[in-house]
Structure 1
């Protein structure tokens, strides 16, 4: 790859900020909390001691400030791994590419990324309104197959692939895992588990309205293969972090148990507990 990037590859706004996130390098901290919902950004940053940056474009809202003397950023990604693809590449560009000259920097900077979200569980033993940290993740969206250099395998991925029965979906699968050293932040989480990242909310998550999902046992099958919970972003965050040299961990609040048909009685209170617990 050439060191000099074409204007069509690294697209910038008129002020030199990265195209979608609308951010300059000085706008972000080295520790970044990623949330899906733009409305959740202010719910997080209200706990900061100071807020110095507030920027947004489309669904990407960013607040940067300080918490207990340390600079910190919270950013919304929107829903899905396609949005994570944008967020991860543009965050990396902010710290590892000279935007003015459109050249790679000689020294690499690693960000610490904390996904703070909600999820559903496929394990009937997991109780709602509790925190779950993702250790292993399988992506069912196919994103990482577009990246030439991505290759990941561990015991979880080998066992999952060997027993996964859905041949039409199997070519889309890819795997990753957490930055284990970041697990010390949240070692007291009630659950640590294996997450499935889905490319949609309805059939990919086994929901059926007027259209039929792949079968009626999909979530149960995933649980039998070692999956604890599901959501829509973590596989891309973990995998792209590995490829780009960053560190990532996901902490999700379990707001639904699909196998038991349960949903949080007060998911707003549950969200507040998640924010306070993660920031603690």
Structure 2
């Protein structure tokens, strides 16, 4: 066997081992979720009701509302702010950009108590608005950083040419900058969806009733049956949580490759 074939074989073995490290826990989770009752465990989880409301579909709806609202706010505000930081000229631009990024260094856990008191005083604790607002503010700095890095790589000649043709800043942003920033848009969408959908702290603190629980709280709800640990139903809820994330990533995978092939045009 030649050295090249030995090297390729070694690489394949390493990749297989790494893949096994990730796949084995997934298979174990599915196996435990089917223990004893089999597929009936999933049916039991879906059929569980509180106040005549099927709680798991309600959790899924809550997650869709919170995730969708957060992504909408972050995408609109972050793209506009990043465009201003990248292409506009105003006093204190560098200072405000550094100040914004410094907010990302503040752990969300350290702000839970003051945010909880704030939302309670505003009468918003236990509402979708409180969760969407806090998740959006926590993710805006990172989104701005990603978008600004992409906008910085786009040639100013496109903006100057659009200005000569009489285009306003908003039209230039919407019809020139954003279409050229497809890789950044797709990547931010994927990162936001995964982070917001999987967030546990904010829904745990700011959802005051099971009717407002998001899907990430399902394991804490289904994990106990008659004050004892119910592993099959616990793991069934974990599998259900993972399915939307996997499906979303598989759907966006082609978009990521397509966006990267388009790329941002640089000077």
TM-score (norm 1): 0.23
TM-score (norm 2): 0.24
Higher strand share: 1
Higher helix share: 2
Larger radius of gyration: 2
